[in-house]
Amino acid sequence: MKKKYVKQVGGSFCDKHWEGEYVEMKYIDGVSFIMFPSETVVPAFYILFASLMFGMGSIIYYVCCPSSTTPMLSNV
């Protein structure tokens, strides 16, 4: 049984390819999306990691280094 995958493509894709053409793609069994060989998900992980580090750093700074305008958590 053939599986169908939906992939959003840019307008130039239609200029370079034709209907029925086989296009090389990357996929992992059990995952619901496919990627072109040139695509990668690594930058998304870097952004997620940076966001988590910034959030944790902000929390630690708030708890450990309160300024005169922010109340300490122990006084709340």
In angstroms, the CA 45 to CA 43 distance is 5
pTM passes above 0.85: no
Percentage of the residues of the chain whose pLDDT score is greater than 90: 11
| Domain edges within the chain | 11-75
- pLDDT tens digits, 39-55: 777 777 888 899 999 99
Q: pLDDT tens digits, the chain, 76 residues: what are they?
A: 677 777 788 888 888 888 888 888 887 777 777 888 777 777 778 888 999 999 999 888 888 876 655 555 655 5
DSSP per position, 19-73: TT-----B--TT-S--B-TT--SHHHHHHHHHHHHHHHHHHHHHHHS--TTS--G
Percentage of the residues of the chain whose pLDDT score is greater than 70: 84
